[in-house]
Structure 1
Amino acid sequence: MQPKVIFFDLGGVVCRFLPQRRLDALGDACGVSSDQVEGVLYSSGLIRRGELGHASSAEIHRTVVDGLGYPGSFAELRELWCRAFQPDPHVLQVVDRLRPLRTALLTDNDPLLLDALPHVFPEVGSRFDPLLFSCRLGAAKPDPVVFARALDLTGCAPAEAVFIDDKATNVAAARELGITAIQFVGAAELVAELDGLLAP
């Protein structure tokens, strides 16, 4: 059976995830160390709360301004926020090869990144519909709730979906629900896996 939707993870699959770049860029913008940025964003639990939908983009912006002295605009912060991600052109080519199959993004990320993605990385945002972020789903992988809500929002049964993620725990959780899941290790390997899966 041909799948109705293929879900892609963002960080570690569609994009390389380089969190230190975000910390360094914000540190430079605020005139503080990257360790201070890490404390305000991550050690405080702010990012995790954002990922689960408990902190808005406005709250993250306000925290960066009040806690770090960030002097820039919200639009500039969106660009800095995306420094943690680097789109992988080889994976984007794989996504293009899948047309006309539907491709969706299923990622654990906060609302500021969701706001920023179409503006900073339109080449990523335009290739996926819908953009399913944990902050909107109210749970993070490998919670089964994430997959159930993603399936519901795309109108698919588990057997009609494929999920691609770099983390073994997330892949295992999807498989337990009857979703065909692939652990990502590289674009070439992904092409081989998908070719075998989608062969008529």
Structure 2
Amino acid sequence: MSGCPVVNRMTTRQPDNATTMDVNWFIFDLGNTVIKLAYERVMENICKRAVITRDDLVELLESPGAYRDLERGAVTFEQFHDFLSDRAGYRGSLADLQETWSDFFDGPLPGIEDLLGRLRDRYRLAFLSNSNEIHAQLIPRKFAAIFERDDRLIFSHRFKTAKPDPEMFQRTLEIIGALPSQAVFVDDLLENVLAARSVGITAYQFRDVFSLEDALRTDGLI
């Protein structure tokens, strides 16, 4: 669910070896690909209860024991709260942090639900998110209208790895029962797109629904 890295968004599509006849799965990232993240709002609300600036907090969250380890399932949310209390002077309770962390999402990105519906006419859908125990409980409930019964939701912390580690993509293929040539991956972060390609998955960098549709249409996938 990572929302903080800023990457080059120039590359949208990948010429690939898979044919449209091979593909039967689309795998979508969630944060800023399907659901708009409210990253800055969360940072602001943490800082209100801490003795740290926004920029220092962003840097701190990259440290061992923080955001990335939370996504990899290396720490629990309670341990993450303890980390912020110790390192950022966070004064809120565990319940306060859970409430703030639950406010990470603004809603579906424009046009994405229509695109997902059209893709379901031809493919199975999976959603692969760098996530944590709070968001894994929240997302299926809060955004139930986005998902359908046959969709697969894959949350990184449950597998002790996370994007862009190639292992996360290999585990995802195992879960959905697909070969790399049978899957297409979509993510807003270039590092994740490149990691998917490294294991043989056709991958597209998401900028907006219009650009993605154009690339998929060009490649005969819609």
Name the TM-score class by shorter chain. Answer: 0.7 to 0.9
Q: Deviations over 1:21-69 (max 9, x none)?
A: 11223344x4766649937971554111111111123433565678523
Which position in structure 2 is the counterpart of 1:26?
46
Which position in structure 1 is the counterpart of 2:101?
81
SS at match of 1:98: helix
Q: Which range moves more in the overlay, 56-65 or 78-87?
A: 56-65
The percent of aligned pairs where both chains have the same amino acid is 32
Match of 2:196 among 174, 179, 185: 174
In structure 1, list runs of 5 or more residues that go unmatched: none
Does residue 90 in structure 1 map to residue 102 in structure 2? Answer: no
Shift of the alpha carbon at 1:194?
Answer: 2.3
In 2, distance between residues paired with 1:128 and 1:60?
33
Match of 2:217 among 172, 191, 195: 195
Partners of 2:173 and 2:179 within 8 A in 1? yes
SS at match of 2:200: coil
Tell me the TM-score normalized by structure 1. Answer: 0.80
Shift of the alpha carbon at 1:81?
Answer: 1.5
The letter for the 2-side match of 1:173 is A
Partners of 1:25 and 1:83 within 8 A in 2? no
Does residue 60 in structure 1 map to residue 80 in structure 2? Answer: yes
Shift of the alpha carbon at 1:184?
Answer: 1.1
Partners of 1:79 and 1:120 within 8 A in 2? no
Shift of the alpha carbon at 1:7?
Answer: 0.7
Which position in structure 2 is the counterpart of 1:16?
36
In 2, distance between residues paired with 1:191 and 1:39?
33
Partners of 1:5 and 1:161 within 8 A in 2? yes
Structure with more relative contact order (C-alpha pairs < 8 Å, separation 6 or more): 2
Which position in structure 2 is the counterpart of 1:104?
126
Shift of the alpha carbon at 1:187?
Answer: 0.5
Q: Deviations over 1:57-107 (max 9, x none)?
A: 34335656785232474xx75553143333313222211221232111112
Q: Which range moves more in the overlay, 161-170 or 32-41?
A: 32-41
Aligned residue-pair number? 197
4+ residue runs over 6 A deviation: none
In structure 2, list runs of 5 or more residues that go unmatched: 1-20
Alignment of 1:150-161 (within 5 A): 150-161=172-183
The letter for the 1-side match of 2:111 is H
Partners of 1:15 and 1:85 within 8 A in 2? yes
Tell me the TM-score normalized by structure 2. Answer: 0.73
